[in-house]
Structure 1
Amino acid sequence: MKRASAIPWQCPVAQRRGKAVSSEDVTPDPYAEPLAFGQRMQLLRERRGIPRTVLAGLLGMSPSWVKQIENGRLQTPKLPMILRIAEILRVRSLSELTGNAAHGELMLFVGPGHARLPAVAAAVNTFPAGTDRAAPAPAHLAARLASAWTARHEAKNHREVIGKLLPDLIHDAQLAVRQADSALDRRAAQAVLSEVYALSQFFLAYQPDSSLLWRVAERGMVAAQESEDPHAIGVAAWLTAQAHRDSGATHYDAADAVTLAALAHLEPLLPDAPDDVLAIVGALEFEAGYTAARRGDTGSAWGWWDKARKKAQRLPGDYYHPVTSFSRAIMGAHAVTVAVELHAGGESVRQAAAADATTIKSRPRRARHRIEEARGYQLDGQPEAALATLDKAFEAAPETIRYNGYARRIVLEETEAKSPERRRRAAELAVKIGVLAA
């Protein structure tokens, strides 16, 4: 097996470093003094690196309209439009955009802190130094980890399930690395530790501690490269690319750099690779397409999706990757995501009709697919279908929809609908997912 080469990727801390800038170069803090809605919108748009023309296109409005909102010549838009702007600008809470302190607790793309977050954070932050306890063997840890992944996929309350398991898994995997007797054992332990950090990222995603998420992502990548295990490297790169992409448009290049470097390392191994390595290559190819779709690059997005589909066709019909859910069954769901990110409402609905959600084994992944379907229906002007699909997402995995900013935005928007029935249905769902008080 080839020795793993270092995968170049960009640390978010390093990205914030660079040449010194004068005070005139620094974007003002929207909270430094009272600012109008349009001024906040402009500051946040520029911080995310989104041109005015791009924001206008994503909103279905003209660049002139965006400019007039930003300079205060037009009144603050109504809630549905504010929520769409908040989604595109990836604001953490609505008050960040509106300046209204009453919106301070209304988090969009950061969900509520889970009750088990402090215990998981403590496990990540506390290194098991000086313990006399013998570490479990890597094979034993790998078996526990496989059971944890299975539990996550089968549970409605998947964050509760893995949040309960993670502290001990993190401690034991760290201990196994420290107590490894040989280079071979140490690499095996590092591979398990890397995947434990991967499981941790699923728990930490969209929770109110982004620095902890990045710390886990960085450690996962380091452990994967120390392991020299192709599959571990692929999984770590897959998650790191997602973390970059979800940080906003200014991080898309970093997401691509990680994805393409991992693919360059893994593709030469494919002729003799097991199914898990083939699957992680396919998952990485889809991630490249996902990022291209976020950029609005239709050709590249579907081109990468097609490459991933061809990898999926090489896998056994019943195969399902334990971390990424990559499989033949998932490609329909991935097609919906590409169409939605390209803001193609009709194509999103067409792809949703072709995809079979029942073949997706993982409850949280099935719920995520339902949310993507709901986004497609709303883009296509079918809000009733969007709400009905979000109900299905809640049924599959309530904890997925509670932490999903897109779902929260759709529900809140529909609480302002003209139709009394839609308002009632949206309000009931908003209470269930914790956006509105009962």
Structure 2
Amino acid sequence: MRGMNMNLTIGERVAWYRRRRGLSQEVLAGLIGRTADWLGKIENNRIELDRLSVIKSLADVLDVSLGDLLAEPSLVEWSTESGMETVPALRAALMKYRAITSLGTPGAEATAPDLDELRQETAKLWTAYQASRFGYVTGQLPGLLGRAQAAADSLDGRAQEEARGLLGLTYQLAATQLTKLGETDLAWIAADRGLSVVRPVGDPAITGSLFRSVSHALLSTGRYQDAVRLTTDAADYLDQHLTDAGPELLSVYGTLLLGGSVAAARANDAGTARTFLTAADEAAVRVGKDANYLWTAFGPTNVAIHRVATAGELGNVQVAIDLGPSLDTAGLPMERRVRHALEVSRAYGAWNRQDEALSVLLDAEQMAPEQVRHHYLGRQLVLTWVRQQRGKPSSKLVTLARRLHVLD
């Protein structure tokens, strides 16, 4: 349940669901090809369980969702930026019947802004997302969706096509933000809405960008093989436009492949992950620098970040340790920088270098507290470290755990 029972590690959740299903450790471990000794260590927090491929295999056998083991969705706290209407208001905006029936009076529920205003609003919210202002973005998205829909309904010709593109990008932002919050079903609705809106426009960059949101939604529900297949199919679709592609389309294409590399790693397909990373690297070379076309933050550094992330997902801790800490991410948006910091912290933790892991995580939290609080990895690393302490945990660790709401 959202916001409840956050003080259980993933291993402790596995134990709880295992007992509810009436399974012994021997039986559950055997069903996923592991030993009872290994499962016992997981349930007693002697081993960190942070690889999503393993967590998903446990969720499948226990017949629960991936989110049930990750304690997702997480509660968006009220703040001066978010206001007092967050995910429920966004859910209501996504479920307005006009979006799928076209019934009612166009523009009746919102005043259509002019296109310049809509461009500025869309860019402002994407920039806020990349600055990890998750509460603000969640609170502002319902209004922007309504205004973008009104513009698409009331305009025609080329102006309508542009409004549709902006509406599609707003749906993509909704899907991306909802994925960060663990709201997987709503993220899927947003991704579906976005693709439906932009298909008639025929812009490969915007269409490719919406494919990314579908991939993110698949990843968030643990459908890793489907996400790999989508990446392959979407890359084939975009490939016909790449001969003379500009940096915007190349960035979308490359970022799609980066998402696919993570999906392949979570599916334990190291070969496909490498293939996607190699193709993304080639696209980054063509772009020529770190950039942010269509809010992709794509370039050589983002490719390197995903090399670290895929290594972590595949359990290649040495690769993550060798590459991760030395990467200079200062030129990238905050969301990318902090996501990489979580991977570095995970690698240090897996290497039994907890002091360094905690230091990296504290720095990340100082930069983007909302992002660290809403990501399962930050919460679970901290809670597991608390459980693993032989003596009294340090005050830094305890206060961080309380700020992340995983410790009373």
TM-score by length of 2: 0.81
One-letter amino acid matched to 2:121: R
In angstroms, what is the RMSD of aligned CA positions? 3.3
| Greater Cα offset, 205-214 or 165-174 | 205-214
Q: Which runs of 5+ in 1 are unaligned?
A: 1-29, 57-62, 99-103
User: What is the SS of the residue equivalent to 1:314?
Assistant: helix
Aligned: 1:119 with 2:89: yes
The one of 391, 398, 401 equivalent to 1:427 is 398
Aligned: 1:330 with 2:296: no
Q: CA deviation at 1:153?
A: 2.4
Would you say the 8 A contact 2:342–2:377 is kept in 1? yes
Give distance in 1, aligned partners of 2:302 and 2:398. Answer: 31
Distance 1:367 1:86, change over 3 A: closer
Give distance in 1, aligned partners of 2:171 and 2:347. Answer: 32
Aligned to 1:8: none
Would you say the 8 A contact 1:113–1:208 is kept in 2? no
Give distance in 2, aligned partners of 1:197 and 1:274. Answer: 24
Aligned to 1:291: 263
Report sequence identity in percent: 24
Aligned to 1:162: 137
Give distance in 1, aligned partners of 2:63 and 2:200. Answer: 42
Give distance in 1, aligned partners of 2:394 and 2:350. Answer: 18
The one of 279, 302, 310 equivalent to 2:274 is 302
Aligned to 1:199: 173
Q: CA deviation at 1:122?
A: 2.2
Q: CA deviation at 1:170?
A: 0.2
One-letter amino acid matched to 1:118: P
Aligned to 1:136: 113
Aligned to 1:356: 328
Measured against aligned partners, the alpha-carbon deviations of 1:306-362 in whole angstroms (never above 9, x if no partner) come to 2211211222435223433222332221121011111111111011133112232x1
Distance 1:356 1:200, change over 3 A: same
Aligned: 1:408 with 2:379: yes
Distance 1:186 1:85, change over 3 A: closer
Give distance in 1, aligned partners of 2:126 and 2:87. Answer: 18
Aligned to 2:83: none
Would you say the 8 A contact 2:48–2:350 is kept in 1? no
Q: CA deviation at 1:432?
A: 1.4
The one of 148, 159, 163 equivalent to 1:173 is 148
Give distance in 1, aligned partners of 2:159 and 2:406. Answer: 47
Give distance in 1, aligned partners of 2:374 and 2:198. Answer: 28
Aligned to 1:230: 204
Q: Between Structure 1 and Structure 2, how many residues are aligned?
A: 375
Aligned to 1:12: none
1:36-435 to 2 correspondences below 5 Å: 36=22, 38=24, 42=28, 52-53=32-33, 56=34, 63=35, 65=37, 77-81=43-47, 88-90=54-56, 108-115=71-78, 116-126=86-96, 129-130=104-105, 131-132=107-108, 135-154=112-131, 156=132, 158-182=133-157, 184-207=158-181, 209-248=183-222, 251-360=223-332, 362-418=333-389, 420=391, 422-435=393-406
1:13-32 to 2 correspondences below 5 Å: none
Give distance in 1, aligned partners of 2:342 and 2:316. Answer: 16
Q: CA deviation at 1:150?
A: 1.9
Give distance in 2, aligned partners of 1:193 and 1:279. Answer: 20
Measured against aligned partners, the alpha-carbon deviations of 1:289-320 in whole angstroms (never above 9, x if no partner) come to 21221122223222321221121122243522
Q: CA deviation at 1:40?
A: 11
Would you say the 8 A contact 1:189–1:227 is kept in 2? no
Give distance in 2, aligned partners of 1:76 and 1:169. Answer: 44
Give distance in 2, aligned partners of 1:342 and 1:106. Answer: 19
Give distance in 1, aligned partners of 2:27 and 2:397. Answer: 26
Give distance in 2, aligned partners of 1:167 and 1:398. Answer: 23
Distance 1:97 1:410, change over 3 A: farther
